[in-house]
Amino acid sequence: MEMSTALLLFTAVTAYLLWFTFISRSLKGPRVWPLLGSLPGLIENCDRMHEWISDNLRACGGTYQTCICAIPFLARKQGFVTVTCDPKNLEHILKTRFDNYPKGPTWQAVFHDLLGQGIFNSDGDTWLFQRKTAALEFTTRTLRQAMARWVNRAIKLRFCPILETAQVNAEPVDLQDLLLRLTFDNICGLAFGKDPQTLAPGLPENSFASAFDRATEASLQRFIFPEVIWKLKKWLRLGMEVSLSRSLVHVDEYLSSVISSRKLELLNQQKDGNPHDDLLSRFMKKKESYSDSFLQHVALNFILAGRDTSSAALSWFFWLMIQNPIMEEKILREICMVLMETRGEDTCMWFDEPLGFEEVDRLIYLKAALSETLRLYPSVPEDSKHVVADDILPDGTFVPAGVIGYIFNIFDRPDEVHVG
């Protein structure tokens, strides 16, 4: 019996690999090796994945193309992954047939331990409800004021003094690290009204920030392995899964403390006259009764969505300014002009307060430079989608139900940045 079972399994695997190899030969995309598919190229370029995929897309016949990667056993459906950066395909996936391209079971399984069913890790009605609630709150005047308060305080009292000290002492600074700390403090303040102070003098380590980083890294590593492998590692407590479990315990304890304290503060809000305007408090004030777990995941999802994206965009922006001094001069000139109009001639280049929303709205050239930065170096260069039902993309590519699709934001990067 055991011999027949082993023979049956061997025959099935052999047949699959032979079929996979035969089908793969007709694919348009990275080189396909017998039995191994595109895995050798994937492994060889694991440290430059985005560039490797971009090269393969361009090799298909232009800047905007679609390719199919043959990855045996790693992909959930038939061992193939569809990758596209065609603008018409992106509009089709993200707008026209949005319901047919959710995040899907692979994505949700990978991030479930960290993000639960938060907005970053949910589909359907659960996603729609959280999106509507968050969109409604983020458009209110009070939350905009809270955003200005958190950002202005961090810039004035922490970020600028660190840069000024470095300038006086002629010391280099890790600007990317400073921006990451800046956005982390801001998004934590907006998400659940507590300042982790990672940008405080001396740049101290923060246990919550460190635990969140480790949990995020361990969750992302799951994308590298087949689902059965990382689930086995989780069950056996091996590798990064151990770090993930420990980090999640720390994150849970920290946010549980925040939520418990906030509930007491909200009960006494009318007495102390100090209302909370963060997103967590707004969810807690609603008539619906949400579990502590749900509230934690709301906060964590917004931290993940708002921290790295903003800091990455700002890091690339300042890097581009260093490479293009003429653009830097134009931005400074525009800021100077706006400040003279709003605060007086004497405050042209020296001012005590960061710019307000009304002043920022008038910085047209700065907005264009930031938009160009995001065009050249998008903060979210790729996104994973699950195909619910068979579909044909606008460029004619057939995508069967159950496959994983990746949409890429790639552009040819010219020597000169296109901001007039």
Q: Label the pairing between strands 391-392 and 404-408.
A: unpaired
- Do 29 and 70 belong to one domain? yes
Compute the radius of gyration of the chain from its Cα atoms.
25
- Do 265 and 314 belong to one domain? no
Q: Is there a domain that residue 156 lies in?
A: yes
- What's the confidence (pLDDT) of residue 276? 72
Q: Is there a domain that residue 119 lies in?
A: no
- Do 186 and 281 belong to one domain? yes
- What's the confidence (pLDDT) of residue 63? 56
pLDDT band at residue 415 using 50, 70 and 90 as cut-offs? very low
Q: What is the mean pLDDT of residues 330-350?
A: 78
What lies within 8 Å, CB to CB, of 123 at 6+ separation is 102, 103, 104, 108
Q: Is there a domain that residue 120 lies in?
A: no
Q: How far apart are CA 76 and CA 90, in angstroms?
A: 22
- Do 169 and 293 belong to one domain? yes
Q: Each residue of 306-331: pLDDT tens digit?
A: 888 899 999 999 999 999 999 999 99
Q: How far apart are CA 283 and CA 300, in angstroms?
A: 14
| Domain end among 305, 331, 356 | 305
- What's the confidence (pLDDT) of residue 121? 81
Asked if 269 and 276 touch (Cβ cutoff 8 Å), the reply is yes
- What's the confidence (pLDDT) of residue 8? 61
- Do 238 and 209 belong to one domain? yes
pLDDT band at residue 417 using 50, 70 and 90 as cut-offs? very low
Q: What is the mean pLDDT of residues 139-166?
A: 83
- The end-to-end CA distance of the chain, in Å, is 75
What letter would DSSP give residue 33? B
- Do 209 and 244 belong to one domain? yes
CATH, residue 256: 1.10.630.10
* 364: containing domain: 310-376
- Do 271 and 350 belong to one domain? no
- What's the confidence (pLDDT) of residue 419? 46
| Domain end among 253, 285, 305 | 305
- Do 166 and 289 belong to one domain? yes
- Do 301 and 314 belong to one domain? no
Q: How far apart are CA 314 and CA 2, in angstroms?
A: 60
Q: Is there a domain that residue 399 lies in?
A: yes
* 19 vs 245, higher pLDDT: 245
- Do 324 and 300 belong to one domain? no
**Residue percentage of the chain with pLDDT more than 70:** 80
* 394 vs 193, higher pLDDT: 394
Tokens for 344, please give them. Answer: 């007086």
* 154 vs 356, higher pLDDT: 154
- Do 347 and 260 belong to one domain? no
Q: Is there a domain that residue 96 lies in?
A: yes
Q: Is there a domain that residue 414 lies in?
A: no
Residues 85, 86, 92, 95: what is their CA dihedral angle, to the nearest 10 degrees? 60
Least confident of 166-170, 198-202, 264-268, 322-326: 264-268
Q: Is there a domain that residue 110 lies in?
A: no
Q: Is there a domain that residue 123 lies in?
A: no
Q: What is the mean pLDDT of residues 44-70?
A: 77
Averaged pLDDT of the chain: 80
Beta strands across the sheet bearing 80-84: 66-70, 80-84, 404-408, 382-386
| Domain end among 305, 321, 337 | 305
Q: State how many domains the chain has.
A: 3
- Do 93 and 190 belong to one domain? no
Highest mean pLDDT among 120-134, 218-232, 325-339: 325-339
